Amino acid sequence: MKKLTTIVLLFIALQSSAQTMWSEKVAATVDKIWPDSLPIGSRTKWSYDMGVVLKGFESLWMRTGNVAYYNSIKNRMDYFVQNDGSIKGYELEEYNIDHVNNGKLVLMLYRITGAEKYKKAAMHLRDQLRTHPRTNEGGFWHKKIYTNQMWLDGLYMGAPFYAEYAMLFHEDTAFNDIANQFIWMEKHARDPKTGLLYHAWDESKQQQWANKTTGTSPHFWARAMGWYADALVDALDYFPADHPKRKDLIAILNRLVNAIEKQQDPSTGLWYDVMNYNGPGKEKNYFEASASSQFVYAVAKGVRKGYLPAAKLAIAKKGYDGIVKRFIKEENGQTNLHGTVKVSGLGGKPYRDGSFAYYMSEDVIVNDAKGVGAFLLAAGEMEQLPTQHIGKGKTVLLDRWFNSEKKKDAGDQMSYWHYTWEERSHSGYYTWGTIFERYGATIKSLDVAPTASNLSKASVYIIVDPDHVRDNPNPNYVTATDVTTISNWVKAGGVLILLANDSNNCDLKHFNLLANKFGITFTDNSLNMVKNDNYVQGEVLPGANNPVFKTTKKMFLKEISELKVKAPATTIVTKENAAIIAVAKYGKGTVFAVGDPWIYNEYIDNRKLLPADFENYKAAEDLAKWLLQTATKK
């Protein structure tokens, strides 16, 4: 009971602090400092810090539906990525692992647009990793000019891109290599006494900064550990759930968080630039913004994804409050981030010896891109924490059995597409999936026929656009057995969503066997047949006091199958006296039905420039929230 009370109080505090969307305010400053059509940071270089900021923009786009953030990413990437896939200013032969970081945005754009130039650009970056110089063990050198050296920073620059690429192109053996990069880095850089990681490791032990016994650099630089922690939580997004080394990465993350927790300043919640230092000149040490933001991001995301215990959320909360209080300042009409060290490295010319005096000599500046990017990511996690309780412990299961269309994917393998969580193009449910996750739910897919067993852990079950022979030469039609299985699950408290399509694009005959069980029939009469871009023809008004769409005033739906509704179902949205959306109570459960797949990316991520008064993103939020709140099964 005490633990539950603590968590409830924490969420109340988070709801209070999240009233100010600091991420949006800082993002506005980014666009003011670095105009939208230009790179961030350097105006000419393919620079990793731009990628950190733009990952923050991607988070904002998914959390707000504001397409301006996507456009900003695309404009800036297109400044570099040429039509033939070459990258302006990028030289593979430099073998600088920093240059791989922006590949995450290139992959994002490829997944969304399918444009070949992004695929080719991503392949160039992947090719760098194929021939990048390595230690004898196999760890990537930080740069060709830094021979035999692995730096913590390099894990962030290379590993998340490498993992996403491996997932997309089915390079299954690459995951061993990715995991080993983290494992080797920890093995060589971890201090057994504090659990902290030294900034870098020199395999040859020849560098002036290297310990002649261990090869490690002298100190624990906070931002280096922040890069490493963030790399772990980001790479894990793409790691196969059953990969044997996944558990090793989660264990590394837990060890690192336990170590940095002990270094968190108890009064401010922040972290010093050089951690665990108590030598000469220690009074010059200072709290640093980028590292503090990185730790907040890694901990908050780690808890949200289930990699870290829920109790660790207190670290992130305290750290975030400290960052906002000490480093965020509203000045001269913009929101600025103070307190980021411009750079810290080792070796090079002039030579950086890794001493405490060296770290203290580097400039601390306002609105450094690395700090701003780290803050945007941290704020992105913290600003969604107040909504996590809505769907906590609930699973949203998306059918891929009745709708099981496949086509060749990026890796030339046959994969599910059309209304899937993974798909970022127009016809996917990726954006809707991020909304469910923002509300604390887990999203999964079901690739086999529903049974009592595989539905038992689902709170919400979505069936969308069941196949007919034009979609799939061997469709899996709804059967009487399926109707019994699914209706029994609903009766026990499940929430079922039936998303059909117009009759030309969906098998309504067999789907209605299931829908009829709840008093709903999808008809052959198609509504809202929008011609060209005459979007007003797709207008749907949910009406005041709608039980589901509580904040949405106008939605866009096209080519909808009209519903016929009888008890136990009731109509909740109509157009010109035709039933469009219905709900039904059935035992302890609930059914929601509409004759259109509707909540796919094309109409909620706002790249499809609908008139501004259409609120499909808000409707997707309303629907996700209602579904999770209605579900009683966990």
Q: How many other β-carbons are positioned within 10 Å of the β-carbon of residue 8?
A: 11
Q: Are residues 295 and 415 in the same domain?
A: no
pLDDT at 19: 61
Radius of gyration, CA atoms only, the chain: 26
Mean pLDDT along residues 171-188: 98
Q: Please list, residue by residue across 262-298, b when 16 or more beta carbons sit within 10 angstroms of its beta carbon and e when fewer do.
A: ebbeeebbbbbbbbbbeeeeeeebebbbbbbbbbbbb
User: Is residue 512 located within the same domain as residue 403?
Assistant: yes
Whether 44 shows a pLDDT value over 90: the answer reads: no
Please report whether residue 7 resides in a domain.
Answer: no
Q: Catalytic site residue 153?
A: yes
Q: Which residues contact 395 (CB under 8 A, 6 or more apart)?
A: 441, 442, 443, 444, 457, 458, 459, 460
DSSP 8-state code for residue 492: T
Same domain, residue pair 374 and 416: no
- Could you give the dihedral angle defined by the CA atoms of residues 301, 302, 305 and 308, in that order, rounded to the nearest 10 degrees? -150
| Concatenated DSSP letters of 50-84 | HHHHHHHHHHHHHHH--HHHHHHHHHHHHHHB-TT
Give the residue with greater pLDDT, 532 vs 200. Answer: 200
Number of neighbouring beta carbons within 10 Å of residue 248: 15
Domain ranges, residue 523: 395-630
pLDDT for res 556? 95
Quick one: pLDDT band at residue 609, thresholds 50, 70, 90? Answer: confident
- What average pLDDT is seen over the chain? 95
Would you tell me how many other CB atoms lie within 10 Å of the CB of residue 363? 9
Structure tokens at 453: 């067993």
The DSSP H or E segment spanning 385 is: none
What are residue 633's phi and psi, to 5 degrees?
A: -80, 140
The letter for the amino acid at 138 is G
**CB distance 235 to 249 below 8 Å:** yes
Residues 191 and 197 sit within 8 Å (Cβ to Cβ): yes
Q: 278-308 pLDDT, tens per residue?
A: 999 999 999 999 999 999 999 999 999 999 9
68-112, pLDDT tens digit by residue? 999 999 999 999 999 999 999 999 999 999 999 999 999 999 999
Q: Are residues 330 and 402 in the same domain?
A: no
Residue 6 has pLDDT above 90, yes or no: no
Q: In this structure, what are the phi and psi dihedrals at residue 462, rounded to the nearest 5 degrees?
A: -110, 125
Establish if 262 belongs to a structural domain: yes
For the cut 90, the answer to whether the pLDDT of residue 230 exceeds it is: yes
CATH code, 447: 3.40.50.880
For the residues of 2-54, what is the DSSP string, one character each?
Answer: HHHHHHHHHHHHHHHHTTS-HHHHHHHHHHHHS-TTS-SSSSSS--HHHHHHH
Crossing angle of the two packed helices 289-304 and 313-327, in degrees rounded to 10: 150
Contacts of 583 (CB under 8 A, 6+ apart): 547, 548, 569, 570, 572, 590, 591, 592, 593
Q: With contact defined as beta carbons under 8 Å apart, do 197 and 224 qualify? A: yes
The closest of 80, 97, 81 to 39, measured between CA atoms, is 80
CB contact at 8 A, 572 and 583: yes
* Tokens at 316, concatenated: 């992130």
pLDDT of residue 331: 95
CATH number at residue 114: 1.50.10.10
Cβ contact 392:564 at 8 Å: no
pLDDT for residue 15 is more than 80? no
Q: Are residues 453 and 370 in the same domain?
A: no
Spatial neighbors of 508 by CB under 8 A, at least 6 apart, are: 500, 522, 523, 524, 561
Amino acid present at 224: A
Q: Are residues 324 and 378 in the same domain?
A: yes
Phi, psi (degrees; rounded to nearest 5) at 632: -100, -20
241-250 average pLDDT score? 97
What integer pLDDT is reported at residue 122 of this predicted model? Answer: 98
- At 18 the pLDDT is 46
Asked if residue 417 and residue 352 are part of one domain, the reply reads no
Judging by DSSP bridges, how do beta strands 495-499 and 406-408 pair with one another? unpaired
CA separation for the pair 559, 206 (Å, rounded): 69
- Higher-confidence residue of 255 and 45: namely 255
Mean of pLDDT values over 32-47: 80
Query: Which residues, in sequence order, are bridge partners of residue 197?
Result: 190
Residues 400 and 381 in one domain: no
Among 100-109, 170-179, 440-449, 530-539, the least confident range? 530-539
pLDDT band at 5 (very low <50, low <70, confident <90, very high): very low
- Tokens 């069941």 locate to 466
Do 353 and 446 lie in a common domain?
no
pLDDT at 386: 95
In a domain, 539, yes or no: yes
Long-range contacts of 191-194 (CB under 8 A, 24+ apart): 191/216, 191/220, 194/220, 194/259, 194/262, 194/263, 194/276
Residue 483 lies in a domain: yes
How far is Cα 468 from Cα 504, in angstroms, rounded to an integer?
9
**Is residue 119 situated within a structural domain?**
yes
Q: Is residue 16 part of a domain?
A: no
Q: Considering the domain boundaries, does residue 6 fall inside one?
A: no
Domain end call among 339, 361, 387: 387
Q: How many domains does the chain have?
A: 2
Q: How much of the chain, in percent, has pLDDT values that exceed 70?
A: 96
Whole-angstrom distance, CA of residue 314 vs CA of residue 295: 12
**Other beta carbons within 10 Å of 303:** 23
Average pLDDT over residues 321-344: 97
What's the token pair of residue 597? Answer: 């797949």
Span 412-417, average pLDDT? 93
pLDDT at 2: 45
What residues have CB less than 8 Å from 239, skipping those under 6 apart? Answer: 163, 175, 178, 179, 246, 249
Average the pLDDT over each of 191-195, 600-604, 618-622 and give the range with the smallest value.
600-604
Which residues, other chains included, contact 386 with Cβ-Cβ below 8 Å and sequence gap of 6+? Answer: 11, 14, 15, 18
The predicted-structure confidence for 527-558, as pLDDT tens digits, reads as follows 999 998 899 999 999 999 999 999 999 999 99
Residue 312 lies inside a defined structural domain of this protein: yes
What average pLDDT does the segment 364-386 reach?
97
Q: Where are the beta strands (DSSP E) in 276-430?
A: 328-331, 334-337, 340-341, 364-365, 395-399, 406-408, 414-416
The whole-number pLDDT of residue 9 equals 46
Instruction: Give the separation between CA 256 and CA 441, rounded to whole angstroms.
Output: 26
Q: Are residues 370 and 440 in the same domain?
A: no
Q: Which residues contact 503 (CB under 8 A, 6 or more apart)?
A: 522, 523, 524, 526, 561
Domain boundary among 340, 356, 387: 387
Report how far residue 522's alpha carbon sits from residue 511's, in angstroms, rounded to the nearest whole number.
Answer: 8
Q: What angle do CA 401, 404, 406 make, to 5 degrees?
A: 150
What's residue 42's pLDDT? 64
Q: Which of 318, 353, 387 is the last residue in one of the domains?
A: 387
- pLDDT exceeds 70 at position 599: yes
In one-letter notation, the amino acid at residue 10 is L
Residues 553 and 626 in one domain: yes
Same domain, 359 and 461: no
Rounded mean pLDDT of 242-265?
98
Q: What is the pLDDT of residue 608?
A: 83
Query: Sorting pLDDT into bands at 50, 70 and 90, what band is 43?
Result: low
Q: Looking at 49, 98, 153, 399, which residue is catalytic?
A: 153
Tokens of 251: 């264990």
Reply yes or no on whether the pLDDT at 468 is more than 80: yes
Task: Give the alpha-carbon dihedral of 153, 158, 164, 170, to 10 degrees.
Answer: -140
